[in-house]
Amino acid sequence: MTRKFFLLFTLLAACAMAQNRVYELRTYHCNEGKLEALKARFRDHTIEIFKRHGIESIGYWVPQDPETSKNTLVYLIVHPSRAEAAKNWAAFSSDPEWKKVAADSEKDGKIVQKVDSLFLDPTDFSQLK
């Protein structure tokens, strides 16, 4: 009986935590000619480092507009909560591997010119919750 209550409690807690998830839409504006370097950094390093710090990747895109597609990367990630997002970013920023990857990838110049970040809550009719 105690085992069943524990299982029920665990499931309810997981559902409650899932309902507090917060999405973050980030747009990176690259310096001229640096988009491919940014995409390589994400592909080869950043996404794996994100995982270690509780940052779940949903998707990555470049705009279809010919002009902005040259220097813009847009991505959507999810955190367990807004408070956890702050902790995740702090841990990511201080990660020694990330610091090395960032420094190595920018040896020929800074990649990112500007980052826009927008935290989002799903609507009741959203496919993503």
Could you report the per-residue pLDDT of 16-45, keeping only the tens digit for each?
A: 344 689 999 999 999 999 999 999 999 999
Q: How confident is the model at residue 128 (pLDDT cuts 50, 70, 90)?
A: confident
Structural domains of the chain ordered from first start = 21-120 (3.30.70.100)
In the sheet that 72-79 helps form, which strands lie side by side, from edge to edge?
A: 56-61, 72-79, 22-30, 112-120
Q: What is the pLDDT of residue 4?
A: 41
Distance in angstroms (rounded) separating the CA atoms of residues 52 and 45: 11
Q: What percent of the chain shows pLDDT beyond 90?
A: 81
Q: What is the dihedral of CA 76, 80, 85, 88, to 10 degrees?
A: -100
Q: What is the pLDDT of residue 19?
A: 62
Could you report the per-residue pLDDT of 67-87, keeping only the tens digit for each?
A: 999 999 999 999 999 999 999
Q: How confident is the model at residue 47 (pLDDT cuts 50, 70, 90)?
A: very high
Distance in angstroms (rounded) separating the CA atoms of residues 85 and 46: 16
Give the residue carrying structure tokens 């500007």: 114
Distance in angstroms (rounded) separating the CA atoms of residues 97 and 92: 9
